[in-house]
């Protein structure tokens, strides 16, 4: 897997939860052995990196983001040896592995916190953030608005308040304490030494608190990240940090530093705007956000996505935009959660295959590394009757048989009910049936991924947005070295025509990439294209 070290730029990442993927021992939850058995499926799909949700020992009150031991595996998911085996088998297939590093907080069950709360004199006391009053850091917002009323929680043991940005059972670590930084580095080292290729750094904006600020994106927080990056670079090569910073592009830009902080960061504001654009049938939201997106250092890369394990977050939109998104995508108010919508891609697209394809076509052709959420490649549905975000974390649907082929356990024993409604249920939506025919969403997604990986123009190229008069059409040129690709997408539910100003590429021949067919050469006149509802084209522009 040698290269220029920038593997994450050319990656197509698949996000999954080991618990939800495949249960090979019949206890109702997936484990590493099960996941290892499914690596051929993932390799055949064409993804070349996996991002695993937290799998560490945990009381599982935030699905594992509440860690009680950073250097072990939750017994329900297997052992460290199982993990090593999974890692080796992934690498053997050319698949990199990205795991979670939850730095900001631990579980309240973590021995560090247990010691810290045991008495005010305990040497671990200063590993967390304590206060005698709830008046400190008043300007910090509450993130889990549906469950938490304050960022302070009362500790009856040591009779003081501790700081938490997420659930109250997730006390924040105190990164002003050098011992905490050291502990974070030790955890990082442990997983990198084992062979993990990248770490998703959870909730990074909140590492450090300062009075009179929002306690987000502080310079001291960036210092911590730069420190960890320096240590990682001194000790390892080809490792990657992916920042989870749900912030505006200018603020996220800081997490790349001068190429000395995080290699990647999610582009949170782009995601809801892709949904807005397709609903409004107008390219404006997408064009606007790219205009606000600053350049990033050459070794860095955006991580782009449509859906993930959380609610479709609407933190990075205006109040009006949020109302619009709720009106259009969460008419059933059960779909709302915190500042977001807890639905999967296919139901958000009302089961419309053309819209699902268009969204994936945009994802795979825009600048950044695309991240697919497990199950979306077959169009899985969700269950908004389950609590919190559990409705988008149901078992993978492998076939139409017992428990969707996910597990031999009794259905009651499963960690979550399987989706079984007539539209998205496992009898209708599953891997085995979609494998059988060429026109299934699964087969189509495979082709899309293959095409995406066929040229570095997508993973490394620049993007120039064109401005055809018809604003229902989004068109851009991706360029890398002497390769050029024109992407044209009809965001509307009706057929559209667009005239593109392609004068600069006069004499080039557009070759439609899915079929390999030649289109008329580009001449002096505006290039006229017609597109059916939600249709899109990728053209390689070949010079004559
Ligand atoms: C972000 C994760 O994506 C989310 O699932 C989790 O609840 C919070 N961080 C807290 O760790």
- Ligand 1 contact, 100 CB (< 6 A): no
- Ligand 1 contact, 62 CB (< 6 A): yes
- The answer on pLDDT for 350 being more than 50 is yes
Q: Convert the pLDDT of each residue in 269-301 to its tens digit.
A: 999 999 999 999 999 999 999 999 999 999 999
Atom in ligand 1 nearest the alpha carbon of residue 244: 1
Q: What CATH architecture applies to the domain 7-104+177-442?
A: Alpha-Beta Barrel (3.20)
Q: How far apart are the first and last CA of the chain?
A: 35
Q: Convert the pLDDT of each residue in 461-485 to its tens digit.
A: 999 999 999 999 999 999 999 999 9
- The answer on pLDDT for 2 being more than 70 is no
The band of 3, judged by pLDDT with boundaries at 50, 70 and 90, is confident
- Ligand 1 contact, 102 CB (< 6 A): yes
- Ligand 1 contact, 388 CB (< 6 A): no
The verdict on whether 146 is a catalytic residue reads: no
Average pLDDT over residues 124-130: 98
Ligand 1 centroid from CA 345, angstroms: 19
pLDDT at 189: 98
pLDDT at 463: 98
pLDDT at 24: 98
Which residue of the set 15, 202, 377, 388 is catalytic? 202
Q: Convert the pLDDT of each residue in 391-402 to its tens digit.
A: 999 999 999 999
Q: Say whether domain 111-163 belongs to CATH 3.90.400.10.
A: yes
- Ligand 1 contact, 65 CB (< 6 A): yes
Pairing state between β 240-243 and 130-131: unpaired
Domain boundaries, the chain: 7-104+177-442, 111-163, 461-542
- Ligand 1 contact, 66 CB (< 6 A): no
CATH of 461-542, one of 3.20.20.70, 1.10.1240.10, 3.10.450.50, 2.60.40.1180: 2.60.40.1180
The band of 544, judged by pLDDT with boundaries at 50, 70 and 90, is confident
| Tokens of residue 450, six digits | 């293959």
d(CA 435, CA 441): 9
Nearest to 355, CA basis, from 504, 511, 493: 493
Q: Is 111 helix (H, G, I), strand (E, B) or coil?
A: helix
Ramachandran area for residue 386 (φ above 0: left; ψ -120 to 50: alpha; else beta) = beta
The verdict on whether 15 is a catalytic residue reads: no
Ligand 1 centroid from CA 174, angstroms: 18
- The answer on pLDDT for 225 being more than 50 is yes
The band of 1, judged by pLDDT with boundaries at 50, 70 and 90, is very low
Nearest to 356, CA basis, from 386, 333, 332, 381: 381
d(CA 359, CA 232): 36
Average pLDDT over residues 149-175: 97
The band of 326, judged by pLDDT with boundaries at 50, 70 and 90, is very high
Q: Convert the pLDDT of each residue in 389-442 to its tens digit.
A: 999 999 999 999 999 999 999 999 999 999 999 999 999 999 999 999 999 999
Overall pTM surpassing 0.95 (yes/no):
yes
pLDDT at 297: 98
- The answer on pLDDT for 218 being more than 60 is yes
d(CA 329, CA 327): 6
Which residue of the set 10, 15, 108, 244 is catalytic? 244
Average pLDDT over residues 47-58: 98
DSSP code string of 217-272: S-HHHHHHHHHHHHHHHHH-SS-EEEE---S-HHHHHGGGTTTTS-SEEE-TTHHH
């Amino acid at each position: 897997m040698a290269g220029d070290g920038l593997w994450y730029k050319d990656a197509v990442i698949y996000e999954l939860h080991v618990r939800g993927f495949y249960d090979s021992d019949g206890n109702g939850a997936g484990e590493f052995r099960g996941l290892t058995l499914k690596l051929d499926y993932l390799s055949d799909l064409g993804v070349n990196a996996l991002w695993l949700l937290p799998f560490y020992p945990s009381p599982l009150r935030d699905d594992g983001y509440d860690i009680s031991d950073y250097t072990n595996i939750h017994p329900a998911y297997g052992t460290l040896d199982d993990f090593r085996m999974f890692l080796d088998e992934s690498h053997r297939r050319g698949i990199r592995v990205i795991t979670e590093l939850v730095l900001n907080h631990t579980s309240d069950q973590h021995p560090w916190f247990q010691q810290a709360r045991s008495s005010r004199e305990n040497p671990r006391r200063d590993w967390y953030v304590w206060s005698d009053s709830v008046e400190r850091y008043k300007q910090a917002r509450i993130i889990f608005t549906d469950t938490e009323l304050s960022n302070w929680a009362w500790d009856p043991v040591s009779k003081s308040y501790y700081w938490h940005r997420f659930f109250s059972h997730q006390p924040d670590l105190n990164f002003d304490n050098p011992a905490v930084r050291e502990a974070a580095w030790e955890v990082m080292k442990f997983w990198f030494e084992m062979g993990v290729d990248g770490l998703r750094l959870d909730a990074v904006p909140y590492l450090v608190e300062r009075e009179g600020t929002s306690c987000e994106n502080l310079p001291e927080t960036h210092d911590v990240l730069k420190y960890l990056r320096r240590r990682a670079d001194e000790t390892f090569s080809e490792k990657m940090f992916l920042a989870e910073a749900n912030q505006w592009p200018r603020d996220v830009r800081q997490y790349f530093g001068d190429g000395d902080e995080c290699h990647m960061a999610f582009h949170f504001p782009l995601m809801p705007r892709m949904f807005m654009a397709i609903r409004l049938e107008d390219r404006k939201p997408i064009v606007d956000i790219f205009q606000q997106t600053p350049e990033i250092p050459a070794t860095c890369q955006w991580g782009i996505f449509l859906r993930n394990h959380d609610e479709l977050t609407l933190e990075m939109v205006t109040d009006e935009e949020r109302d619009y998104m709720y009106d259009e995508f969460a008419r059933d108010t059960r779909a709302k959660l915190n500042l977001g919508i807890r639905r999967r891609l296919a139901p958000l697209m009302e089961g419309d295959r053309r819209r699902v394809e268009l969204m994936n076509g945009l994802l795979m052709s825009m600048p950044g590394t695309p991240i697919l959420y497990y199950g979306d490649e077959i169009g899985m549905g969700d269950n908004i009757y389950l609590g919190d975000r559990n409705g988008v974390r149901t078992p993978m649907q492998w076939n139409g048989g017992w428990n969707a082929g996910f597990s031999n356990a009794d259905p009651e024993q499963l960690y979550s009910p399987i989706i079984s409604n007539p539209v998205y249920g496992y009898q209708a939506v599953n891997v085995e049936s979609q494998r059988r025919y060429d026109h299934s969403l699964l087969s189509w997604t495979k082709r899309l991924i293959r095409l995406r990986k066929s040229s570095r123009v997508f993973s490394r190229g620049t993007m120039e947005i064109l401005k055809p008069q018809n604003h229902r059409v989004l068109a851009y040129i991706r360029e890398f070295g002497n390769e050029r690709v024109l992407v044209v997408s009809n965001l509307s539910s009706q057929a559209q025509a667009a005239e593109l100003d392609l004068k600069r590429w006069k004499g080039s021949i557009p070759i439609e990439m899915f079929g390999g067919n030649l289109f008329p050469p580009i001449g002096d006149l505006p290039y006229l294209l017609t597109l059916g509802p939600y249709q899109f084209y990728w053209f390689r522009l070949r010079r004559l």
